[in-house]
Amino acid sequence: MPAYLDHNATTPVDPRVIDAMLPYLKGPYGNPSSLHRFGRAARDGVERARAQVAALVGAQPQEIIWTSGGTEANNLALKGLCTGKPRTRLLYGATEHPAVMEAAESLGRDGWVVERIAMTADGLVDWPAFTTQCATGSVRLASLMRANNETGVVQDTARAAPLVHGAGGWLHVDATQAAGKLSLSMTDTGADLLTLSSHKLYGPKGIGALVVKAGVDLAPLLHGGAQERGLRGGTENLPAIVGFGLAAELALLELEARSAQVHALQQQLEAGLRNIPAVTIFGADAQRLANTTQFALSGWDGEALLMHLDRKGFAVSSGSACASGSGEPSHVLLAMGIDPAIAKGAVRVSFGKGNTTDEVRSFLEALQGFAKQ
Ligand SMILES: Cc1ncc(COP(=O)(O)O)c(C=O)c1O
């Protein structure tokens, strides 16, 4: 059996989630906006899921805006906050996902002053630099991720909130990778807007949410429908929403057990990696997600190593799934000041609830074989 070690790219859908979705494909097929009984049955499914997703992040159900996933939620946060507003500054972390970086850069082409937030060698915000940046003039928004998809480094986003608010702006937190892996709340993250994606926590793909605190002044990206308080028009993807809802509920219920299980695998992996002299682990000294280890094996290109591991039956990533295939060193590692020659060797292992200690043992054996080549 091949070992799937790429859960930060996506997770398998939990069988309990599939069971919860199926009736909504076969049964209550009404449009949630319809007033008749078919519509009301569909609406009940949507609203139950809204409460389940809200509970995952300690939000109010009415603060949840459904989107097609993390990419759309990030775009909605950044563009929705900026549309129609005086073009001031927006700031984003230098290690953000492309869905934040490229949304920000597109606003830059539209006249906004876009600045990166510098990171330390551990992948953490350079707080003195960020404090100065916030004190330099008014800011419409700052975007920082709670946990990095490549390194797993966990960011103290709450520390950014008073700085951003002091500059007159809102704080957006991309919690796509943190959700289901860390205890998460709007209060603890300091977020005014927070991004979630279902397929990273054993839910279906193509559904996510932007959590928007009351009072945040956001414009829609999509026009033509009154759904989601006019912030995201379009008939709701009912089965996916129901699946996301249950996936969020299970993630909350099982958080501790899941974290403990992947943490044990991560410790086993990293103990083995430390015995291979040619290995560098990235973000090793920072707090990281319990399931994520990104490392390089000296003398190897990350993508070549990925393909060799794939042939041996191990599915890993050579960085963020979106950047894979580009052949460029990861922007996350470059922002941490890693030498591009070392960064090019990066491979990411991200565990999930189906992985076993046997898989880690045989993965380490395979890697030891490559280290000798
Ligand atoms: C940190 C982060 N943000 C956003 C996304 C995009 O999410 P989605 O695939 O749901 O569009 C990802 C996906 O890899 C991610 O890791």
Shared-domain flag, residues 90 and 218: yes
Q: What is the CATH number of the domain that holds 103?
A: 3.40.640.10
- In this structure, the answer to whether residues 82 and 216 fall within a common structural domain is yes
| Domain that includes residue 108, residue range | 15-253
Are residues 184 and 141 located together in one domain of the fold?
yes
Do 183 and 276 share a domain, yes or no? Answer: no
The domain boundary residue, chosen from 229, 253, 277: 253
Task: Dump pLDDT digits (tens) for 227-276.
Answer: 999 999 999 999 999 999 999 999 999 999 999 999 999 999 999 999 99
How large is the angle between the packed helices 98-109 and 70-82, nearest 10 degrees?
Answer: 30
Atom of ligand 1 nearest to the CA of 9: 14
**Cα-to-chain-centroid distance, residue 233:** 23
Q: For ligand 1, is residue 150 a contact (CB within 6 Å)?
A: no
Residue 371 above 80 pLDDT?
A: yes
The predicted-structure confidence for 286-332, as pLDDT tens digits, reads as follows: 999 999 999 999 989 999 999 999 999 999 999 644 445 556 899 99
- Shared domain for 283 and 181, answered yes or no, is no
Task: Dump pLDDT digits (tens) for 59-73.
Answer: 999 999 999 999 999
Tell me: do 76 and 225 sit in the same domain. Answer: yes
Using the 3D structure, point to which of 224, 253, 282 is the last residue of a domain: 253
DSSP string covering 281-295: ETTTTS-B-TTEEEE
- % of the chain residues with pLDDT over 90: 94
Tell whether 130 and 239 lie within a shared domain.
yes
Whether residue 212 has pLDDT greater than 70: yes
Considering the domain architecture, whether residues 199 and 259 belong to the same structural domain is answered as no
d(CA 93, CA 168): 18
Amino acid in the structure at residue 44? D
Residue 187, pLDDT > 60, answer yes
DSSP letter (8 states) at residue 92 = E
70 C-alpha to center of ligand 1: Å? 5
Is 174 close to ligand 1, i.e. is its CB under 6 Å away?
yes
| pLDDT averaged over every residue in the chain | 95
- Taking the chain, what is the end-to-end CA distance rounded to the nearest angstrom? 25
Q: Residue 97 Cα, ligand 1 centroid: separation in angstroms? A: 7
206 CA closest ligand 1 atom index: 10
Residue 359, pLDDT above cutoff 80: yes
Residue where one domain finishes, among candidates 253, 287, 302:
253
Cα–Cα distance list, 135 to 82, 128, 156, 164 (Å): 20, 11, 19, 9
The closest residue, in CA terms, to atom 8 on ligand 1 is 70
146-164 residue pLDDT tens:
999 999 999 999 999 999 9
The pLDDT of residue 322 is: 45
Q: Residues with Cβ < 8 Å from 319, sequence gap 6 or more?
A: 150, 294, 302, 330, 332, 333, 346, 348
Handedness of CA 103, 106, 112, 115 (dihedral sign): positive
Q: How would DSSP label each residue in 192-228?
A: SEEEEEGGGTTS-SS-EEEEE-TT-----SS-S--TG
- Catalogue the active-site residues: 322
- Asked whether residue 219 falls in the same domain as residue 280, the answer is no
Question: Looking at the 3D structure of the chain, how many domains does it have?
Answer: 2
